[in-house]
């Protein structure tokens, strides 16, 4: 991706096309618009309201517009890479044609809503040699990269236990989020992020999953007025939710480590507690490390009996207060497009997180341990 002028190498701006301009897609549009190393040449979304709202946030780009990815494929000479932020059930059908023509992809998490569709994407990308980065944004966060550095340094010895408290407000009021056949389920849609953090920090293979969950508040067949603190969509009733609104999930790893996630999807107006999202680790040396609100880390105990509070830079990895790691993942994708380097959050990492989520969904339904080898 370089131009040669007078013997000097001049870096060419990477041309991007974006498919999907809902909450996530408009966030990516905003972020990439603020990066001078790229140019947004095309956007695609079937909803006029999404297009009008999203295009209104642009400052530095004036992309051409179409309504779907099929139309975008007709203009493949106009972009170098594609950012896909469509509902989970559309991931495979949108991603495969772009992989077939050799376009590097940024694909929002999860890889797909089913393992079969995930495997199709992986097979196509490997056969074509196309890099695909998955939107597991925490892998690019200053907070969780620092956590991983402390683990690598041996600050806790071996990571023996982990937990995550994901207590939050509901998904945005869009029907597909609440239809398990389209989203894959709440644990697939939301907590593949956190299962990936478990895998990353523990550094071992998950073996089996046990989960218990159900519907406490957002119940199938009842009118549920759904509000969400970060969406641009107006509140509305959802009456046919087929996803769980709460769960406890335990994961056993092949090295004996264990992790547990608690999910609640009905806090109002959202999580107002001091710790917010909490992710913690316990090590073999007796130390604990806890990240709170995606902003800070506490490390307590262990061999030196100390207590340390680490106040981290939570600005440089995002843009205008966006999600932790969100802007750094965009720069990382541009680097992958430019160099061909394997993304830090690649397809196989995405698949490992998806497997845990699918096993947890299955465990809830069948009320038993689910071994991951059953799914493969």
- Residue 9: the pLDDT is 47
Q: State yes or no: pLDDT of 238 exceeds 90.
A: yes
Q: What is the pLDDT of residues 287-337, one digit of tens each?
A: 999 999 999 999 999 987 889 999 999 999 999 989 999 999 999 999 999
What are 71-96's pLDDT values in tens digits? 999 999 999 999 999 999 999 999 99
DSSP state for residue 37 in the 8-state scheme: T
pLDDT at 8: 46
The reply to whether 2-137 and 138-314+346-374 are identical in fold is no
**CA atoms lying within 13 Å on the CB side of residue 280:** 16
Say which residues have a Cβ less than 8 Å from residue 171's Cβ, sequence separation at least 6: 177, 178, 186, 189, 190, 226, 228, 265
- What pLDDT, on a 0 to 100 scale, did the predictor assign at position 321? 84
Give the per-residue pLDDT at 304: 79
Per-residue pLDDT at 7? 42
Helix 326-339 / helix 23-33 crossing angle, nearest 10 deg: 70
For residue 305, the model assigns a pLDDT of: 82
Q: What is the pLDDT of residue 117?
A: 98
Cα dihedral 207, 210, 216, 219 sign: positive
Q: Which CATH number fits domain 2-137: 3.30.565.10, 3.10.110.10, 3.40.50.720, 3.40.50.20?
A: 3.40.50.720
pTM metric for this prediction: 0.96
- As a CATH number, domain 138-314+346-374 is 3.30.360.10
Q: Which two tokens stand for residue 49?
A: 């309201």
| Alpha carbons 187 and 191: distance in angstroms, whole number | 5
| Mean pLDDT of the 182-211 span | 98
Identify whether the C-beta of residue 184 lies closer than 8 Å to the C-beta of residue 226: no
What per-residue confidence (pLDDT) applies to 141?
A: 98
Picking from 161, 150, 178, the residue whose alpha carbon sits closest to that of residue 89 is 178
Q: Any idea where the domains of the chain sit in the sequence?
A: 2-137, 138-314+346-374
Mean pLDDT of 331-345: 97
pLDDT tens digits for range 14-54? 999 999 999 999 999 999 999 999 999 999 999 999 999 99
Res. 362: pLDDT tops 50:
yes
- DSSP letters, 169-229, are PPPPS-GGGG-HHHH--HHHHTTHHHHHHHHHHH-S-EEEEEEEEE-SSS-TTS-EEE--S
Instruction: Tell which residue, 337, 351, 53, 358, has the closest CA to residue 196.
Output: 351
pLDDT, mean of residues 193-217: 98
Tokens coding 147: 């956590």
């Amino acid at each position: 991706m370089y131009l040669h002028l007078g013997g000097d190498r001049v870096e060419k701006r990477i041309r991007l096309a974006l498919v999907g301009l809902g909450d996530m897609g408009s966030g990516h549009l905003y972020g990439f618009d603020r990066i001078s190393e790229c140019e947004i040449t095309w956007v695609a979304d079937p909803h006029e309201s999404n297009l009008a709202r999203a295009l209104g946030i642009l400052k530095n780009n004036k992309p051409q517009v179409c309504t779907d990815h099929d139309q975008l494929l007709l203009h493949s000479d106009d972009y170098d890479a594609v950012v896909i932020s469509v509902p989970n059930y559309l991931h495979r059908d949108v991603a495969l044609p772009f992989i077939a023509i050799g376009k590097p992809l940024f694909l929002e998490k999860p890889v797909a809503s089913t393992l079969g569709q995930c495997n199709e994407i992986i097979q196509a990308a490997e056969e074509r040699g196309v890099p695909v980065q998955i939107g597991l944004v925490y892998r690019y966060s200053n907070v969780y990269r620092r956590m991983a550095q402390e683990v690598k340094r041996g600050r806790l010895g071996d990571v023996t236990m982990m937990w995550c408290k994901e207590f939050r407000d509901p998904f945005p009021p869009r029907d597909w989020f609440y239809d398990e056949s389209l989203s894959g389920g709440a644990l697939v849609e939301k907590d593949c992020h956190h299962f990936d953090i478990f895998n990353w920090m523990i550094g071992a293979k998950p073996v089996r999953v046990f989960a218990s969950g159900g519907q406490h508040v957002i119940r199938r067949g009842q009118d549920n007025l759904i509000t969400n603190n970060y969406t641009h969509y107006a509140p509305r009733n959802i009456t046919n939710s087929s996803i769980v609104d709460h769960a406890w999930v335990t994961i056993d790893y092949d090295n004996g480590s264990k992790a547990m996630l608690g999910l609640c999807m009905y806090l109002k107006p959202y999580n107002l507690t001091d710790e917010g999202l909490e992710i913690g680790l316990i090590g073999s040396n007796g130390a604990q490390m806890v990240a709170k609100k995606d902003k800070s880390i506490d490390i307590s105990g262990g061999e030196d009996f100390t207590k340390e509070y680490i106040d981290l830079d939570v600005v440089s990895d995002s843009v205008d207060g966006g999600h932790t790691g969100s802007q750094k993942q965009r720069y990382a994708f541009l680097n992958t497009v430019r160099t061909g380097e394997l993304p830090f959050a690649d397809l196989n990492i995405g698949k490992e997180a998806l497997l845990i989520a699918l096993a947890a969904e299955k465990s809830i339904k069948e009320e038993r341990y689910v071994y991951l080898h059953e799914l493969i």
